[in-house]
Chains A and B, each alone.
Chain A
Amino acid sequence: MDLNEFIANFADQFEDTDSSEITAATEFKNLDEWSSLIALSVIAMVDEEYDVTLKGDDIRGSVTVMDLYNIVKSRS
């Protein structure tokens, strides 16, 4: 599983946030555009792209994009 590809897929869920703003270290819940709908989109994207079921608690417990990547990687 490729980290850069994961970051690109993650960034793809945002409309107004420039993808250059999003890195592995980004604390994604601090992004202005972050919302419950984007959280659902991330869950759906991870299911579609990686065949991994992400729970709401996984998102809640993650701070950075890297945290999410590690969860998905550990299950894929």
Chain B
Amino acid sequence: MYNPYSLEGKTILVTGASSGIGRTTAIECSKMRARMVVTARNEERLKETLSALEGEGHRMLLADLSKEEDLDKLVSELPKLDGIVNNAGFTKTLPLQFIKREQLTELLNVNTVAPILLLHKILKKKLLNNESSVVYTSSIAGLGLTAPGNAMYTSSKGAISAYIKNAALELASKKIRVNAVCPGMVNTGILELGTVTASQLEEDEKKYPLGRYGEPRDIALAIIYLLSNASAWVTGTNLIIDGGISLK
């Protein structure tokens, strides 16, 4: 069957695969016939992801990517890769005057430093095949869209959205492509944090020109495009997937 988006024959690593966009991306990639390596911190939830994958030959590796020794251990256990989805991340909403070094450092460590170092370590070990694709989950926040209390998150994603351009240029000679997806608000359990109320979210959702928040699958399918050979001429791009909210 004709399918330019097929991932058949590719081995793909997804970080933050125990929930949200990461889990859905891993599952959708497996449906496109990729062989998956999934990683996250939580064993129980990562096992759920692993068991939801279609096809054979998938693996899970536990790692807390904010720890240098975990990063090294993960890389030492990786097979040769054709794709990496750097997705692990979190957010913390704090107005400027409440920002503290500890929280800022923790957030930058997970969202910015770890995914940059992971690619560095994989390259150093020559585990990334030529013509591979590396995808980062950034955010429309990383492109300068603002929200109250979002400054720490914005900083962490802004760095990634700039980083991919330099990485793309440096790796172009190997035909390795580096891109980011920049989602708007995606339904991934943000209500559980409790900082915002259900009615606030309902009001906010109405502002989206396409009438709804994103679902993890909306982002996963864009990541599949960037991982597949269909995007062979696309590198250094921040792909906005936001229901049109950044048009306002």
CA distance A57 to B93 in the complex (A): 16
CA distance A48 to B200 in the complex (A): 24
Please report which residues of chain A, range 19-66, place their CB below 8 angstroms from some CB of chain B when the two chains form the complex. Answer: 35-37, 40-41, 43-45, 48, 53, 55-57, 59-60
The answer to whether B95 touches A53 (Cβ under 8 A) is: no
CA distance A37 to B146 in the complex (A): 12
The chain A residue with its CB closest to the CB of B194 is: A55
**With A37-B148, A37-B149, A40-B149 given, is the CB distance from A60 to B199 under 8 Å?**
yes
What is the minimal beta-carbon distance from A53 to any residue of chain B, in angstroms?
7
**With A40-B93, A40-B95 given, is the CB distance from A56 to B194 under 8 Å?**
yes
**With A40-B95, A44-B98 given, is the CB distance from A53 to B149 under 8 Å?**
no
CA distance A40 to B195 in the complex (A): 8
CA distance A40 to B197 in the complex (A): 12
For the residues of A in contact with B, the DSSP-based class is: helix
Please report which residues of chain B, range 88-125, place their CB below 8 angstroms from some CB of chain A when the two chains form the complex. Answer: 93-95, 97-98
Chain A residues whose C-beta falls within 8 Å of the C-beta of B198 in the assembled complex: 57
CA distance A43 to B98 in the complex (A): 10
The chain A residue with its CB closest to the CB of B195 is: A56
The answer to whether B200 touches A56 (Cβ under 8 A) is: yes
The answer to whether B95 touches A37 (Cβ under 8 A) is: yes
The chain A residue with its CB closest to the CB of B94 is: A44
What is the minimal beta-carbon distance from A45 to any residue of chain B, in angstroms?
7
The answer to whether A56 touches B95 (Cβ under 8 A) is: no
Chain B residues whose C-beta falls within 8 Å of the C-beta of A57 in the assembled complex: 194, 197-198
CA distance A53 to B194 in the complex (A): 9
Please report which residues of chain B, range 148-163, place their CB below 8 angstroms from some CB of chain A when the two chains form the complex. Answer: 148-149
Chain A residues whose C-beta falls within 8 Å of the C-beta of B97 in the assembled complex: 41
Please report which residues of chain B, range 163-218, place their CB below 8 angstroms from some CB of chain A when the two chains form the complex. Answer: 194-200
8 tightest A-B contacts by CB? A55-B194, A56-B197, A44-B98, A37-B148, A40-B149, A41-B95, A56-B196, A57-B197
12 further A-B contacts with Cβ under 8 Å, apart from A36-B200, A41-B95, A56-B196, are A40-B93, A40-B94, A40-B95, A40-B148, A44-B98, A48-B98, A53-B194, A56-B194, A56-B200, A57-B197, A59-B197, A60-B199
